[in-house]
Amino acid sequence: MKQQIHFLCAAAILLLSACSKNSSQTWEDVKTAGRYMQKGVDAIWGKDYESRMLTSDEEFLGPYDDDFIPLRDSDLKQFAASDTALPQPRGIPGQRGFPSLDEFYLPPDDLRSIFQALHFETDSHVLHDRAEIAALTKLAAHLKKNPNLYLVIEGHTDQRASASYNMALGMRRANYVRSFLVKNGVDLNRIYTVSRGKEQPIANGNSPEDWKLNRRSEFKIYEK
């Protein structure tokens, strides 16, 4: 018995240390493995975090104006409240009276404080800074007061990850901000999103401060 305990201890030490290169990398690996295994265990008990495919194109008739076949409602219900999916605006930019995105412009100086850029942590699309959350709440109130104001949210990233992944991450950030504004009462049909990935940095240095400046969401407006 004692021998088995010693053997297990040695095996545990081996597992925890053998692949290590540095502490942060090991921690990332442990987190990834933990989440991956937890979802597998949950799936055994019938708890399904994963999205799934439709079994046939006819199986789901989407909402009236859907222009794609979405995943099942039961799959999407698993999404956290903070991660609600919102349909894109009904109007296509530049068509049927909706402004073209080329017509949007940077907010004038007297509105810059309301439309200030928001900043994100590395590889994150959620705002954590209380002051920036408060600023975004203030922006929502301003948009509600001005129903003729249209908004474009640009999602940007820093330059450290790959260009392709950063395009998707920029898209994630812009849609998170849009979702926040809509939850605070802004009409979703007035807010468009675009991703710039790491293609338009504002700080070209390689310091953490430069990276933070680039991990941002910016706004452009159009008044009808």
Q: Rounded to the nearest whole angstrom, what is the least distance from the CB of residue 174 to other proteins in the complex?
A: 8
Q: Rounded to the nearest whole angstrom, what is the least distance from the CB of residue 13 to other proteins in the complex?
A: 5
Q: Is 213 in the site for other proteins (CB under 8 A)?
A: no
Q: Is 116 in the site for other proteins (CB under 8 A)?
A: no
Nearest to 105 by CA among 223, 224, 222, 7: 222
User: Which of 165, 185, 208, 224 touches other proteins by CB under 8 A?
Assistant: 165
Instruction: Judge whether 191 and 93 are in contact, CB under 8 Å.
Output: no
User: Which of 80, 97, 130, 207 touches other proteins by CB under 8 A?
Assistant: 80
- Nearest to other proteins of 16, 134 (CB atom): 16
Choose the stretch contacting other proteins; rule: CB under 8 A; options: 73-81, 113-121, 127-135, 211-219: 73-81
Residue 141 CA: distances (Å) to CA of 13, 86, 115, 146: 55, 19, 12, 9
User: Which of 149, 169, 181, 221 touches other proteins by CB under 8 A?
Assistant: 169
The two tokens of residue 101 are: 């995105």
Q: Is 21 in the site for other proteins (CB under 8 A)?
A: yes
Q: Is 195 left (phi over 0), alpha (psi -120 to 50) or beta?
A: beta
Q: Is 195 in the site for other proteins (CB under 8 A)?
A: yes
Instruction: Judge whether 129 and 212 are in contact, CB under 8 Å.
Output: no
